[in-house]
Structure 1
Amino acid sequence: MERDFSEVKLLGFDVFGTVVDWRSGVARAVAPFLEARDIAIPPAEFADRWRALYEPAMESVRSGKRPWVPLNELNLENLVAALAEVGLDVAAIPMEELEEINKAWERLDPWTDSIEGLTRLKSKYKLAPISNGDIGGMTNLARFAGLPWDMILGAEVTRTYKPQLATYIGSARKAGLEPGQVAMVAAHNYDLAAARRAGLKTVFITRTTEHGPGQKTDLQADSDWHVVGNDLVAVAQALGC
Structure 2
Amino acid sequence: MYMKGNLIMNIISCFKIFADYEMLANEEWKIDNNKLLETQYLRNRYSLYDEIALELSVRAGADKVTGLTIKKEDLSFNTQNLYSVGISEVVEIYSKEDAGVAIVRYIKELNTNNYCLVMGAQSSDSYGGRVPFEVAQMLEISSVADVHKFSIEENIITATIINEKYEKIVKLPAPCVLVVGNVPKTYLKVPTLKDKLNAKNKQTTKIYDDNVTMATDNMIEITYITQMRNNDLIEIDELRDICFS
Q: TM-score range by the shorter chain?
A: 0.3 to 0.5
Name the TM-score, length of structure 1 as normaliser. Answer: 0.41
| Bigger helix share | 1
